[in-house]
Amino acid sequence: MEIRELDTTDPAALRAWYDVRERSVRADRPYALLATYAAFEVVATASSTYWSRTWFEAVDAGQVVGVAELELPLEENLDLGWCEVSVLTGHRRRGTGRALWDAVVARARQHGRSRLGGEVSLDLAVPGAGLAFATAVGAVEKHREDHLLADLPLPPAQLDPAYDLVAWRGRCPDEHRAAYLAMRNQMNADVPTGDLDLDVEVLDDARLAASEERLMRAYDVRVAAARRRSDGVFGGYSLLFVPHGTDHGWQDDTLVMPEHRGHRLGAALKSANYADLPAHVTQVHTWTAPDNTAMHRTNTTLGFRVVERMYEMEAPIA
């Protein structure tokens, strides 16, 4: 068995890498939300100023049997890398996962990283081997979130009449960009991350624009925001991605600014986004820390149910 780096200029190799990852993950996780091939292709073929990414593959008798991804942040968290390792079911417990991990660690060390983080998601009914594997390579739990799923349509949640709904798709309109950036940065500072010791990512207009441009290539990006009628001040937003050509949405950030809390804006903004979706979108995924009581309750009240437990793991590699 040989570990090699994926040649991202080779479309057939890209496809093979993606298929092995998808089959490996799906084997244990019927509710997994996986990037579409189009979304993977965007990330794998367009370079980014903010991230350096490497993909590895384990090849046995000419077949790819396992894959790994390493992401290195380039602007902040320069001591850290993020990784994921996946091995096809028929090829497990033979050291393939560990060999991929070793390749990831060696590359991360070359770039001066001293710790590696990763997410392990476990199905509620039949938990897979992810946590045992992560523990075996020296990782410990730093944070936990629930993965929740809702079937659409959901009963609507009304927006407080003191607020107007401001919604857009794709790029945030110029007139709202300053307010939207302020809210996005508040979100990055406020979101609970447990024991994960992370620098907060700071978005400026250029970084927001780069992220919007990349995301729009693979996702229908939908934002619903609430603007107070009395003074035009924005009180919160909710961000939803619908991968092109799929039947599901992925609920990303929802933030209510501190002075606007207590008006059920979070539920109303999510609900506004879902109500506006085309009929072929029938499910929405989201992630919430179980101890983030306000948001967990908002989600279950809206109609979400927990389908997986997600563990943020981290291993020292210095």
Query: CA 20, CA 238: separation in Å to the nearest integer?
Result: 33
**Binding of ligand COA by 140 (CB under 6 A):** no
Q: Which of 1, 13, 28, 53 binds ligand COA (CB under 6 A)?
A: 28
Q: Which of 18, 20, 24, 39 binds ligand COA (CB under 6 A)?
A: 24
**Binding of ligand COA by 183 (CB under 6 A):** no
Whichever of 54 and 254 has its CB closer to ligand COA, that residue is: 54
Query: CA 84, CA 257: separation in Å to the nearest integer?
Result: 33
H helix or E strand, kind and range, residue 237:
strand 234-243
**Binding of ligand COA by 96 (CB under 6 A):** yes
Whichever of 24 and 54 has its CB closer to ligand COA, that residue is: 24
Q: Which of 7, 11, 49, 95 binds ligand COA (CB under 6 A)?
A: 95
- Pair 81, 72: CB distance under 8 Å: yes
> Smallest distance from the beta carbon of 140 to ligand COA, in angstroms?
14
- Pair 258, 234: CB distance under 8 Å: no
Q: Which of 93, 126, 231, 262 binds ligand COA (CB under 6 A)?
A: 93
Q: Which of 46, 74, 124, 136 binds ligand COA (CB under 6 A)?
A: 136
**Binding of ligand COA by 120 (CB under 6 A):** yes
Residues 6+ apart with CB under 8 A from 71: 51, 52, 53, 81, 82, 83
Q: Which of 31, 34, 38, 84 binds ligand COA (CB under 6 A)?
A: 84
Encoding tokens for residue 233?
Answer: 């001040």
Give which of 107, 113, 106, 52 is closest to 77, Cα–Cα.
113
Whichever of 128 and 235 has its CB closer to ligand COA, that residue is: 128
**Binding of ligand COA by 218 (CB under 6 A):** no
Query: CA 112, CA 201: separation in Å to the nearest integer?
Result: 19
**Binding of ligand COA by 17 (CB under 6 A):** no
Q: Which of 6, 14, 20, 25 binds ligand COA (CB under 6 A)?
A: 25
Sign of the CA dihedral with 261 first, then 264, 266, and 272 last: negative
Query: CA 68, CA 21: separation in Å to the nearest integer?
Result: 8
Q: Which of 124, 132, 200, 202 binds ligand COA (CB under 6 A)?
A: 132
> Smallest distance from the beta carbon of 1 to ligand COA, in angstroms?
10
Encoding tokens for residue 154?
Answer: 């959901």
Give which of 279, 273, 281 is closest to 302, Cα–Cα.
273
**Binding of ligand COA by 61 (CB under 6 A):** no
Stretch that binds ligand COA, among 132-140, 240-248, 253-261, 264-272 (CB under 6 A): 132-140
Whichever of 85 and 225 has its CB closer to ligand COA, that residue is: 85
Q: Which of 31, 34, 59, 92 binds ligand COA (CB under 6 A)?
A: 92
Q: Which of 130, 235, 236, 243 binds ligand COA (CB under 6 A)?
A: 130
Query: CA 218, CA 141: separation in Å to the nearest integer?
Result: 31
Q: Is 206 exposed, middle or buried (0-12, 13-18, 19+ CB in 10 A)?
A: exposed
- Pair 142, 196: CB distance under 8 Å: yes
- The SS3 call for residue 72 is strand
Residues binding ligand COA (CB under 6 A): 24-25, 28, 84-87, 92-98, 118, 120, 128-130, 132-133, 136
